[in-house]
Structure 1
């Protein structure tokens, strides 16, 4: 009989030059230390209006994470772990902890990284019989961290694209979804390019969501429709203030962040689009190309898909709509 193994997730020191920037390849909204009080006030007001301050997605902000879902070791998956890692018994994973729930954020001790991405990494490590060491990284750090060997993998809302496939291996575990967020009384509904005609939309430069908006604007212009005006913001507090003051009509960013912000009353999700539009793109466990970990990750993910702990973890963080049916190694991406 397979023995259930429960391990503590141990935070380790951040890599050098850690910054508190974006969470992922497609991340737009992340917390900013200088504006944390503003965001906290806005969340408190929104939750008070909803009358459910303590019921925000049931988010556990403790460093102990007693509500984390656990699985047991899968011996077949464990045999696929590269020898050096198996001998060490540890899996060092980078997760960006500079944001807000549900993806990756700092617990109440302001040191331990917790969130949905840590929970998925924890399931994978447990399936492989390894102890998980979580390293708090910024988005800019993870590629170099993996290539240098400081990180054995990254679980941090990393989307699969053609450029990354040249350097890294991927095992998918979520769809990459972008959400349009607006004031709760906006009356907006965004499903296609025509729906953004004439709107003022906040977006982060150099992201998948900016590409989507530029493509939609091109379609609208060709169809004789008014284009959307794009405004660029660097952090969540400034964007929310712009939305509440009417300077923008909507903003587009990662769906997980929008799910949380909607739950606390800051915004309403008025539409979603896949990050790879018009194709489908996925979020994946990321490791160095050819180092052998991806096969172990695929097997470990398949194990937690089948035993139900994957679905329970997504439910815990309000992300069941991003679930996939099975892990896929290095999925094909659109041109």
Structure 2
């Protein structure tokens, strides 16, 4: 696993990032942003408010992350840090860095993990008086890494569900929303299970969105509708290529990523669903159950909520619409 240390500073620097797999290596971030803005302006119908609002998300892709929002230590939160965590002065956090803005992705040095999840973890580490150590993990790795002690917490768009609550503790910080994305110009509209009947749907293995798709498909088949065809890809770049080439009809994935891709013109969002469908769930910081660290994390998040650094961080990454009113430890979920 690649280990990188996330650090804060005070000066904002922004650039735009498109899907790396589709761009020449020599293309600068400024050129990419200019091309995207020109493309979006050329395609948008005059007077269409929705298209006028879909401005590309400005993203800092530097490993230094000069624009990261900062906060200060909160004594009440510091007092809750378990002794074994406080001893080495570090908070070791797993973040999946194989994605793209705004959640977790690799910076320009191709090794430092940055994104909204890292920024939120950074706020918590600061409030707890700890140095943040970010570990780049795959989605499949994080549960075992927490159980083995290689990680102390995970900030990686993890949704709270009944099965995970048996092994892990959670402190919520965003609503869990998934989005169906399709190629530009698609006439798809997806709001209920019947809308995916007969479609080829890209989805991540072992995710809540895969569960939703399979549940919807089972419901459709029971009703005599044509089954959906799940497809799995190794990277977001591969998924994007499959959408644009027509190999798949839609992709069900995290809403933040879909909103970003829509903003830069690569695809469009054709529907959303809560990650806990048919119930409501939340995205949360994840710790091993029973360690007590989750109480410190919740207190740290609450400090960031109170001083405004939480809201500013979500705004920085275009995620203000997924904000929650307050963090909550182990929210009730339906099994």
**TM superposition score normalised by structure 2:** 0.82
Moved more, 197-206 or 166-175: 197-206
- Tell me the equivalent position of 1:105: 105
Hey, what's the Cα distance between the residues in 2 that align with 1:111 and 1:242? Answer: 26
Aligned to 2:125: 125
Q: How far apart are the structure 2 equivalents of 1:126 and 1:112?
A: 19
Matching residue within 1, 6, 28 for 1:9? 6
Q: 2:125 matched to 1:153?
A: no
Q: CA RMSD in A?
A: 2.7
3-state SS, counterpart of residue 135 of structure 1: strand
- Change over 3 Å in CA distance of 1:116–1:198 after alignment to 2: same
Give the number of aligned pairs: 304
Contact 1:46–1:266 (8 Å) recurs in 2: no
Q: Is the 8 A contact 1:10 1:133 kept in 2?
A: no
Deviation at 1:176, TM superposition (A): 1.8
Note the 1:250-261 alignment, pairs <5 A.
Answer: 250-261=250-261
Q: For structure 1, which runs of at least 5 residues remain unmatched after alignment?
A: 1-7, 12-34
TM-aligned CA deviation for residue 39 of structure 1 = 5.5
| Cα gap change, 1:110 to 1:205, in 2 (>3 Å) | closer
Of 309-318 and 148-157, the range deviating more from structure 2: 148-157
Q: Structure 2: state its 5+ residue gaps.
A: 9-18, 43-54
Alignment check: 8 A CA contact 1:178 1:255 kept: yes
Within 5 Å, which residues of 2 pair with 1:183-202? 183-202=183-202
**1:10, 1:134 within 8 Å by CA — same for their partners in 2?**
no
Structure 1 pair 198–282 and aligned structure 2 pair: CA distance change class (3 A): same
What is residue 162 of structure 1 aligned with on the other side?
Answer: 162
The within-5 A match list for 1:49-88 is 49-50=39-40, 56-88=56-88
User: Does the 8 A contact of 1:205 with 1:232 survive in 2?
Assistant: yes
Does 1:208 find its partner at 2:208? yes
Q: Distance in 2 between matches of 1:214 and 1:144?
A: 25
- Cα shift at 1:117: 0.5
Q: Which residue of 2 aligns with 1:313?
A: 313
* Contact map agreement 1:203 1:252 (CA 8 A) in 2: yes
How far apart in 1 are the matches of 2:333 and 2:38? 43
CA distance in 1, matches of 2:109, 2:237: 22
Structure scoring higher RCO (CA < 8 A, sep ≥ 6) equals: 1
Whether 1:294 aligns to 2:294 is: yes
Taking the aligned partners of 2:87 and 2:249, their CA distance within structure 1 comes to 54
CA deviation vs aligned residue, 1:225-277 (integer Å, no higher than 9, x gap): 44433333333233222222223221111112112211211000111101110
Q: Distance in 2 between matches of 1:325 and 1:252?
A: 26
Going from structure 1 to structure 2, the CA distance change for 1:210 and 1:88 (only over 3 Å counts) comes to closer
Q: Greater shift after overlay, 63-72 or 146-155?
A: 146-155
- In the alignment, structure 1 residue 38 sits paired with structure 2 residue 9: no
Indicate the SS of the match to 1:270: strand
Residue matched to 1:229:
229
Distance 2:107 2:182 in 1: 28
Question: Does structure 1 conserve the Cα–Cα contact (< 8 Å) formed by 2:99 and 2:235?
Answer: no
The 1:201–1:149 alpha-carbon spacing in structure 2 relative to 1, beyond 3 Å, is closer
Is the contact between residue 159 and residue 208 of structure 2 (CA under 8 Å) also seen in structure 1? no
Q: Is the 8 A contact 2:71 2:309 kept in 1?
A: yes
Q: Distance in 2 between matches of 1:163 and 1:199?
A: 28
Q: 1:262 to 1:76 in 2, by over 3 A?
A: same
**TM-score (normalised: structure 1):** 0.82
